[in-house]
Chains A and B, each alone.
Chain A
Amino acid sequence: MRALYSTHLPAVKRYVLQNGGTGNDAQDMFQEAMTVLWMSVKEGRLVPDTDPGGFLYRVAKNKWLDVVRSAAHRHMKVVHDDRALDHGTDVVDDIEERIVRLRDVYDKLDDKCRKVLDQFYFERKDLATIAEGMGVEEESIRTIKYRCMMKLRAFRKAISGEDRNEA
């Protein structure tokens, strides 16, 4: 992840800076592009032979063009806009919508839940290691994990209920 970051950020940064953005803007666009790339891999939706650098650049550039065209940036002139040539990515749009939905789910968790679930599901640490790091019994971590996941389940259940009511 770090290697991808340091290798491909400079090209995105160059583009954003050329088009009225700042280094911070470039970082934001690049992080969003990295998230889209990661999600595409996870969901098995990345076309084989895709060049990660090209993918990141294309997604970050299109995201920056969206920002530039927003109301706050209408006065800016875009130096390079070949979006029509390289947009065409319904898959990316789907993935981005999915990311928004999943972030909404994650936002429902409190800090304690995030700390335990991150370590177990993202860092893939085992329960004993998490327990040792947090200074509690392994069984406590197991219980916290279960309860936190049940909170997410209840949240999703409520959402699906609302969807049914709207329908």
Chain B
Amino acid sequence: MNQGPLDRSRFEAIESYVLGSMGPDERARFEEELTVDASLRAEVDLQRENIRAVELGGLTRMLKTISEEQGTGEEGWRANAWKQRMKYAAVIALVLSVSLWLLRPPANERLFAQHFVADPGLPVAMSATDDHTFQDAMVAFKLGDHAEARSKWLPLLQADPNNDTLRYYIANASLALHEPAPAIPFLESLARDPSSAFMKKAQWYLFLAYVDAGDVAKARAVPLDDDATYGERVRAIKGQLD
């Protein structure tokens, strides 16, 4: 590892590479540099490690929050304490209700949140080494770690840009992250590709992506109203769009 300072542009280039957000040309150049520069390889490893430490810290915090939300299930509630808490519960509930009403998200985002369920994913099986990264990402996807899944799939898509499975699941991960913009181009091409096994599902998720993005005109134009699987839900959502 280089013991000297690391300037910001170099740091951000390494960060972009580690996070999988580097463009294909830049990535190719960077990887070429990696093959000949041991010091750069060490910096990449170090930064990957530090980012992992931060992610771990975030996970620990999230687990603590979930634990607090769910309670411990201990028999610790004393009757008096319970009565004491109950005195304030109605007031708190009222304040929360009013706050939630005032702070509620726009109608289109609420409709999206109400109807979006991420694709259950593909079965993960033992397979050839070529598929290992894909399968890792699929496990992450199934565990709800959509950002991780997407960051692992994106480099695979660069190598195989016409792979409809990758495009479909990357789009699905983006929607799960509430990021309709990067999902829409993938879903638009899949939704009009009759040779793709994902065509019908892509039309449904494209519809939801337009809803989430607030593009009511495009959402209304998605022709799923009479679809046996999605028609009822599509009609109900369209009826509630502004």
Chain A interfacial positions (CB closer than 8 Å to B): 1-6, 9, 13, 22-24, 27, 31, 34-35, 37-39, 41-42, 44, 46, 48-50, 52, 99, 102-103, 105-106, 109, 114, 117-118, 121-124, 146, 149-150, 152-153, 156-157, 160
- Interface set of B (CB-CB < 8 Å, partner A): 1, 3, 5-6, 8, 11-12, 15, 19, 46-47, 49-64, 66-67, 69-70, 72-74, 124-127, 132-133, 135-136, 139-140, 143-145, 147-148, 177
CA distance A149 to B49 in the complex (A): 11
**Given A34-B63, A42-B148, are A106 and B126 also a contact pair (CB < 8 Å)?**
no
Q: Is the interface of A mostly helix, strand, loop or mixed?
A: helix
The CA of A150 and the CA of B70, in the complex, are separated in Å by 37
B58 contacts across to A, CB distance below 8 A: 118, 121-123
Interfacial chain A residues near B51, Cβ < 8 Å: 121
The residue of chain A having its C-beta at the shortest distance from the C-beta of B55 within the complex is: A122
Out of B50, B62, B63, B125, name the residue touching A49 (CB < 8 Å).
Answer: B125
| Cβ contact within 8 Å between B144 and A156 | no
Contact A121 to B55, CB < 8 A, known contacts A1-B66, A48-B135, A156-B46: yes
> Given A42-B55, A122-B59, do A31 and B143 touch, yes or no (CB 8 Å)?
no
- Our pick among A103, A105, A114 for the contact of B50 (Cβ within 8 Å) is A105
In the complex, are the beta carbons of B50 and A156 less than 8 A apart?
yes
New A-B pairs, 19, CB < 8 Å, besides A31-B63, A114-B54, A118-B57: A1-B62, A1-B66, A4-B144, A9-B70, A13-B73, A35-B59, A41-B140, A41-B143, A42-B52, A44-B133, A48-B125, A105-B50, A121-B54, A121-B55, A146-B8, A149-B15, A150-B6, A152-B53, A153-B46
Determine how close the nearest CB of chain A comes to the CB of B38; give it in whole angstroms. 15
How far apart are the CA atoms of A153 and B3 in the complex, in Å? 10
Q: Which residues of A contact B8 (CB under 8 A)?
A: 146
CA distance A49 to B148 in the complex (A): 19
Which chain A positions have C-beta within 8 A of B127? 48
CA distance A117 to B54 in the complex (A): 7
Q: Identify whether the interface residues of B are mostly helix, strand, loop, or mixed.
A: helix
Alpha-carbon gap, A5 to B65, bound state (A): 12
A105-B53, A123-B58, A153-B6 known; A1 vs B148 contact (CB < 8 Å):
no
A102–chain B nearest beta-carbon distance, Å: 4
Cross-chain pairs A/B with CB under 8 angstroms, 19 sampled:
A2-B66, A5-B67, A23-B73, A23-B74, A31-B64, A31-B67, A34-B63, A41-B148, A44-B136, A49-B125, A50-B139, A106-B54, A109-B54, A121-B54, A121-B55, A124-B147, A146-B11, A150-B5, A157-B3
Bound CA–CA A38/B62 (angstroms)? 12
Q: Kindly state the separation between the CA atoms of A6 and B64 in the bound complex, as whole angstroms.
A: 14
Q: Which residues of chain A are within 8 angstroms of B63 by Cβ–Cβ distance? A: 1, 5, 31, 34-35
A1 to B62, CA, bound (A): 9
